[in-house]
Structures are given as structure tokens and as C-alpha cells.
Amino acid sequence: MNTVNQHEYIYCINYMKKCSDLLKISQQTFSLALTFFHRFNNHYKNKNSKNTENLKNEINEDEIIDPNINIPLDNELLCCTCLYLACKSNEVNRKIRDVINVGYRVLHPEEKTLKIDDIFWKFCNSLVNSELILLRVLKFDVNTKLAYQYLLRFFQDYLISDFCDLKYEYKSNSLNLENILRYLTQISWSFINDCYLNPEICINYSHKSIAVASLYFGMKSLNIKLSKPFPQWCHELSSKLNPDEILDIIHDQINFYNNKSHIMIENNK
């Protein structure tokens, strides 16, 4: 599998989304699968940029090859593998048979469900081998604590007054505390969903930073003022956070919103 171009990237994410919908997995599990996919492709991108000629002329032990079919992993196989590994990592009970049938159905909607025959077992073997390859690229780091968990932890551990100025008069309508919290959670959660579509954010920033950026974006969207200076606010949420990094995440994601690729992905959700 060579480094995918933008068109292929959009196709892969849309394909994964359709499969995840049929598998009825949560947004968190889908986002974890996206994280695996972004990390895999980033590995390939870096590998190709370091030594393109060597990759063309020789095969070494680090090359990402399916040993059974002896060709690079295709996009659909990689997508299904990321979904399968995400389900296992999040302890979501989806069998390999379910993932194969769903992946096949999305590609061939008019055909019947696969029979348990030699072709089916070849798909199984390919997926198992692909999972081992993916795990090696990920260095067996399948951390399942995404930005969603950090966001929920913030709301559990802090009061609303730690996030915003309660004396500030909300400009649009007179909302009570319950409504403010609900809207803030919804907007922040949606922003996290979109961040995991963006490979640049997934690769370059921590999950905790994404959570803080999403919370801050939600507050700005609702026109809610901070109860303290922004650097201090970031430091109190996590002492290791860089305030400039939080702003960079929001800036990068806004640029992603302005990119047509994001619209194409969104229209297929």
C-alpha cells in the first residue's frame, strides 16, 4: 500500500464510516479506528519520504506486506482491520465474521452474504495477518483513552465555575445552568468527532490536548467567557498543557472545516 492521496483518504474514511454504522459501534470506537488508520498512513508517509528508492528496489522486514497474498495491503482490508482492532481494544463484541461480512456488503451491496467457504477463510486469514502488521506499525500501542474520556473527566472533576464566569450574562437567551452544560457538552463532543477525521491533529497532538481544545471551542461558540486568564485556565486543567498548542488545534481544525475534503466526509456520515 503506497501513501494514499487525498481522494483515497476521503474514500477510506467514508468506507470505514459505512462499515461502522452497519456494525453499530459507538463514535468512540470509530474514532479509535480512525486514529489507527491515521497512524498507519503516517508511518508509511515517513517511511516513503526517508528512502523512496530503497522501498522500490528491495523488501526488508519492516515492509508492510500481507504474507499470504504477497501484495501491499489494500485500502479496504486496512480499513476493516482498523475497525476490528478498535472493537477488540474497546472490548466491543464484534466477531471477525461480522467485520468481513460488513466490509464485503459495503463493497458489494447487491450480492448475497458470503458463504463459509474457501473464499471466506481467505478473507479471514488476510484480516488476521493484516491485524498483526497493523499492531507492529502501531508498536502494540492501542491506547483506548481518547479525548472523549478526558472531556467527561473534566466535567466530573470541575465545577462549571472552573470553566466560565457564572456572572457573565449569556447574550442570546436566558439559559439555565443545565442547558448551558448540555450545549457545551454537545458542541465540545462534536468538535472531538471532527478532530479525529483530521489526520494532522490525530498525529501531532495528544488526546488530552484535543479534549481541552474542544472544550474551549465549545465555550467560544456559545460566547461564554473564561473565569480566569486563558494560560491559567489551561494550566489548571493540566499542568503540562501548552496554551499555544490548544489554539493551534482549533486553528488547524477550522482550516480543515474550510477544506472541501471535510465536507465530502461529512456528507457521507
| pLDDT of amino acid 180 | 79
Cα separation, 96 vs 126, in Å, equals 11
User: Is 155 within the bounds of a domain?
Assistant: yes
Boundary-marking domain end, from 108, 137, 166:
137
Shared domain for 153 and 75, answered yes or no, is no
User: Is 1 within the bounds of a domain?
Assistant: no
| pLDDT of amino acid 60 | 45
Shared domain for 17 and 122, answered yes or no, is yes
User: Is 142 within the bounds of a domain?
Assistant: no
Q: How many CB atoms lie within 10 A of CB 222?
A: 17
Q: How many CB atoms lie within 10 A of CB 101?
A: 17
How many domains in the chain?
2
Q: For position 78, which CATH number holds?
A: 1.10.472.10
Shared domain for 133 and 11, answered yes or no, is yes
| pLDDT of amino acid 73 | 66
Using an 8 Å Cβ cutoff, are 37 and 131 in contact? no
Mean pLDDT by 10 residues, the chain (269 residues): 72 94 96 95 70 45 41 80 95 93 91 82 91 92 90 82 60 63 91 95 94 93 85 88 95 87 55
User: Is 108 within the bounds of a domain?
Assistant: yes
Boundary-marking domain end, from 106, 137, 168:
137
- Phi, psi dihedrals of residue 146, rounded to the nearest 5°: -95, -175
| pLDDT of amino acid 165 | 63
Supply the range of the domain harboring residue 128: 6-137
User: Is 158 within the bounds of a domain?
Assistant: yes
Nearest Cα residue to 47 out of 136, 143, 142: 136
Shared domain for 112 and 163, answered yes or no, is no
Which run of H or E residues covers position 128? helix 118-137
| pLDDT of amino acid 70 | 38
Q: What is the pTM of this model?
A: 0.84
Shared domain for 133 and 154, answered yes or no, is no
| pLDDT of amino acid 160 | 67
User: Is 39 within the bounds of a domain?
Assistant: yes
Shared domain for 157 and 92, answered yes or no, is no
Shared domain for 52 and 161, answered yes or no, is no
* Cα–Cα separations (whole angstroms), residue 66 to 62, 131, 145: 12, 10, 29
Using an 8 Å Cβ cutoff, are 230 and 165 in contact? no
User: If 0-12 CB within 10 Å is exposed, 13-18 middle and 19+ buried, where does residue 27 land?
Assistant: middle
